[in-house]
């Protein structure tokens, strides 16, 4: 099972579209349709949001990629062999993208300061990395900036991590730089 993860607004949907373009089967549904924040879609599987209360769906993910929110990755059940793709994006871009999405939805700003939110996210990402080490689950950090700046090289690295056999050129073409709206924040 291939797990695509990262903090909200880090580029996990982009990663999922890249994987799909390369030929990786995805476990997704249409529960959250495309919108102005993710015009090409979210590539989510709603049951994944119910971890740790519900994990029976994990068997359906065998041989596929599924997006799991970073904080829920340590709740994945023992048993399956996991490979983890962890998207990392510059914190100012993540925070700006989150703020824009919340504003567009008419929701207030987070209760935490930016500094505190980043500290919480960093601690949670450290938990994901520790979980992967404890499970002997291979983990590849996918740098959002590199994926946009050098999609061919980044996609080749992702394809090698997944085990090869993917259409790297199609993966690179799936990267749409125009959708990167919070660059250099």
CATH fold of 2-175 reads Rossmann fold (3.40.50)
Range from 46-60, 97-111, 156-170 carrying the lowest mean pLDDT = 97-111
Within 8 A by CB and 6+ apart from 178, the residues are none
157 in Cβ contact with 139 (< 8 Å)? no
What is the Cα gyration radius of the chain?
Answer: 16
Of 100 and 150, the structure prediction assigns the larger pLDDT to 150
For 79-101, what is each residue's pLDDT tens digit? Answer: 899 999 999 999 999 999 888 88
Mean pLDDT of 67-80: 96
Give the pLDDT band (50/70/90) at residue 137.
very high
**Long-range pairs for 25-29: beta carbons < 8 A, 24 or more residues apart:** 25/63, 25/64, 25/65, 26/64, 26/65, 26/66, 27/57, 27/60, 27/61, 27/64, 27/65, 27/66, 28/66, 28/67
Mean pLDDT of 43-57: 95
**Residue 45 pLDDT:** 96
Cα separation values, 38 from 3, 56, 105, Å = 20, 28, 13
Global pTM reads 0.93
Range from 29-38, 112-121, 134-143, 150-159 carrying the lowest mean pLDDT = 29-38
Within 8 A by CB and 6+ apart from 73, the residues are 3, 5, 84, 128, 131, 132
**Residue 181 pLDDT:** 58
114 in Cβ contact with 170 (< 8 Å)? no
């Amino acid at each position: 099972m291939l797990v695509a993860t990262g903090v909200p607004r880090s580029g996990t949907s982009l990663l999922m579209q890249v994987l799909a373009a390369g030929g990786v089967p995805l476990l997704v549904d249409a529960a959250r349709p495309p919108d102005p924040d993710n015009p090409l879609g979210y590539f989510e599987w709603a049951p994944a949001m119910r971890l740790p209360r519900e994990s029976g769906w994990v068997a359906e993910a065998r041989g596929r990629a599924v997006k799991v929110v970073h904080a829920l990755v340590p709740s994945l059940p023992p048993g399956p062999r996991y490979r983890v793709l962890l998207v990392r994006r510059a914190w100012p871009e993540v925070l700006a993208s989150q703020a824009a999405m919340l504003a567009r939805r008419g929701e207030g700003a987070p209760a935490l300061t930016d500094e505190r939110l980043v500290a919480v996210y960093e601690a949670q990402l450290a938990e994901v990395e520790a979980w992967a080490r404890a499970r002997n689950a291979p983990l590849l950090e996918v740098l959002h900036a590199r994926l946009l700046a050098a999609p061919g090289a980044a996609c080749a690295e992702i394809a090698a991590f997944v085990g090869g056999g993917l259409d790297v050129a199609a993966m690179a073409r799936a990267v749409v730089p125009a959708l990167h709206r919070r660059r250099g924040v």
